Amino acid sequence: MKNLRYKFNRFCFANRNKGIPNLMLYIVLGNAVVYLLSMFAADLSLYGILCFDRQLILQGQVWRLFTYVFTSFSFDNNLVLVAISYLCYFSIGRAIENVWGTFRFNLFYLSGVLMMDIFAMAFGGIAVHGYDFSLFYRSMGSNLNLTLFLSYATLYPNAHFLLFFIIPVKAWIFALIDLILTVLQIFSLSYPIFAFPHNLFPLVAIANYILFFGKDVVNILPVSWRLNAERLFKKKSAKKTGTIPFPTAGSYQATVAKPSAPYNHRCTVCGRTDVSNPELEFRYCSRCQGYHCYCEDHISNHEHIE
């Protein structure tokens, strides 16, 4: 699996400029057009044409498998809040694309769409206690926003968002709150809003997030938390000993030295090395206490170790 992920990262890096550049810009503009036309038309007819509907898809309206991404934002009557949310998600998408490249970001968004399509087509027709869940899946585009925010918080955990436009809160705090609320939603099982298997739907978005980040999902936690956890759970490796026989002198115990690390530089935040990711540049932070190395993605964006 590690070798497969390495090859995947190399493939994405080699094709990083392929795909649709500024994909998030087109998605946000599409949402804005749907919102404005729906607001001025005083109905949701355009929304009804584009949103996900399993029954209509089975009747031939296959465009709904993809066009629901243009109905994924809120239809709040406050135009200012809607504009701020559009700008926020555009900025998040652009930041992720700048780190990953166009190809990987396109693949990330497309795989999220396909995974949710598969789940919704498989389980969207199941009624629980006579309740039809077709309306529940009409808003499934909002789950893509969760993956975008989790991805941004993993890449930029110390970025700040202004709560109530006043209080600065770090991105990783918001991300953990989102995850907690998602878990509570999964286990709520309150009828008719959430019921099995429909309550598992948010896990599809989280699965897509884990698929692309792998073990790097721990980067969403502060560096100090991870370092303390490593010190707490790290087992002290005992020195291995071996017996080397001599024909005349009997035998003696010799200490076998632990092999050196198969890399020269390793990022303290994401764990990538100059061997696993030779395309990256690595630097050492002069403000951190000790000798800590960071890759080019985190040298300017990490929590300094005191």
Query: Rounded mean pLDDT of the chain?
Result: 77
Asked whether residue 100 is domain-assigned, the answer is: yes
Residue 254 lies in a domain: no
- What is d(CA 208, CA 214) in angstroms, rounded to the nearest whole number? 10
| pLDDT per position as a tens digit, 88-123 | 888 888 989 988 889 999 999 999 889 888 888 888
Range of the domain at 142: 2-220
Q: How many domains does the chain have?
A: 1
Question: What would the pLDDT profile of 197-218 be if each residue is shown by its tens digit?
Answer: 777 887 888 888 888 887 777 7
For residue 264, being part of any structural domain is answered with: no
Q: What is the CATH number of the domain that holds 197?
A: 1.20.1540
Give domain status of residue 170, yes or no.
yes
Amino acid at 5: R
CA atoms within 13 A on the CB side of 287: 7
Asked if residue 167 belongs to a domain, the reply is yes
Task: Find the helix or strand (DSSP H, E) in which 75 lies.
Answer: none
Output phi, psi for 258, to 5 deg: -70, 130
Q: Is residue 138 part of a domain?
A: yes
Q: What is the pLDDT of residues 45-73, one digit of tens each?
A: 777 788 888 888 888 889 988 888 888 76
**How many CB atoms neighbour CB 6 within 10 A?**
13
Is residue 103 a contact partner of residue 17, using CB atoms and an 8 Å limit?
yes
Residue 305 lies in a domain: no
Q: Is 50 exceeded by the pLDDT of residue 249?
A: no
Domain for residue 45, yes or no? yes
